[in-house]
Amino acid sequence: MTARSEAPALFDECRIVHAYGELDAQTVEPLARALAEARAARHGRLFLIVDLSRVTFTDCSILTPLCAAWADCRARGGWTRLVHDHHTTNLVLRCSGLLDRFPAYASAQDAWDGRTADNGTSQRPGQPR
């Protein structure tokens, strides 16, 4: 698993973390570290997009770092949104009761726009989910 954090010029208050490969108890640490670094890199309000579109497998080990990021961003007046389309990611989120907290977004731009993959509805970028 590889994870990296980006601060795109297009989204001043937004950070994007990308993850690749398999995410499980043995490989989730780089993702957890990238999420923590993305949050530490910006003070104040933060919008965080976690791109899991290139993750091939995940288990419930992603839940702790994702929920920590969600709680931190929400407390700071922002949000955390996930880009994902893999059935195991969806299954883990649904079985844990977190699919409402982390609905699927098709792309980082859709996540920024608040346009979920399941229904295409849109929320303003500053509106928490």
Q: How confident is the model at residue 118 (pLDDT cuts 50, 70, 90)?
A: confident
Quick one: how far is CA 121 from the chain centroid? Answer: 18
CA distances from 51 to 6, 26, 57, 85 (A): 11, 19, 14, 10
Which residue do the tokens 């346009």 mark? 115
pLDDT digits (tens, 9 = 90+) for 100-117: 999 999 999 999 999 998
Angle at 61 between CA 25 and CA 37, to 5 degrees: 95
Q: How far apart are CA 36 and CA 108, in angstroms?
A: 19
pLDDT score at 4: 57
User: What does the pLDDT read at residue 5?
Assistant: 52
| pTM of the predicted model as reported, rounded to 2 decimal places | 0.83
